[in-house]
Amino acid sequence: MDYNLLASSPEVPGKCDVCGGELVTREDDTEEALAVRLREYHQKTNPVLDIFRRKEYVVTVDARPDPVQIQQEIRARLGLPPYRPASQDHTAQQAAG
């Protein structure tokens, strides 16, 4: 079970909904610790992203639409063939066969 304080809290605070065990918060689960982790992440990741951006392997897309639209946009921007969900592949194979 995955709990978080904003969107998925247990029914009884501090208790697991499944087994009733005690839930504990990580010592480093603070706003300050998160800020440090995010800063380190960006310091280490941005140089790598810059390399891949120069090689045109990184694209930015709007992740709000449905997953199929997102997949289509990513593939189009990378010059890949359109995405066809597995159910469409099966239907296309049946039509061809």
Q: Kindly report whether the global pTM for this prediction surpasses the value 0.75.
A: no
Q: Measure the CA–CA gap between 16 and 55, rounded to whole angstroms.
A: 47
Q: How confident is the model at residue 93 (pLDDT cuts 50, 70, 90)?
A: low
| Domain contains 73 | yes
Say how many domains are in the chain.
1
| Domain contains 15 | no
Task: Say how many CA atoms lie within 13 Å of 34 toward its Cβ.
Answer: 4
| Domain contains 17 | no
Tens digits of residue pLDDT in 4-43: 767 788 889 889 888 999 988 888 888 899 899 999 999 9
| Domain contains 12 | no
Tens digits of residue pLDDT in 68-91: 999 999 999 989 998 787 765 555
| Domain contains 51 | yes
| Domain contains 45 | yes
| Domain contains 25 | no
Q: Measure the CA–CA gap between 81 and 72, rounded to whole angstroms.
A: 9
| Domain contains 23 | no
Domain residues for the domain of 42 are: 31-78
Tens digits of residue pLDDT in 30-40: 889 989 999 99
Whole-number pLDDT of residue 14? 87
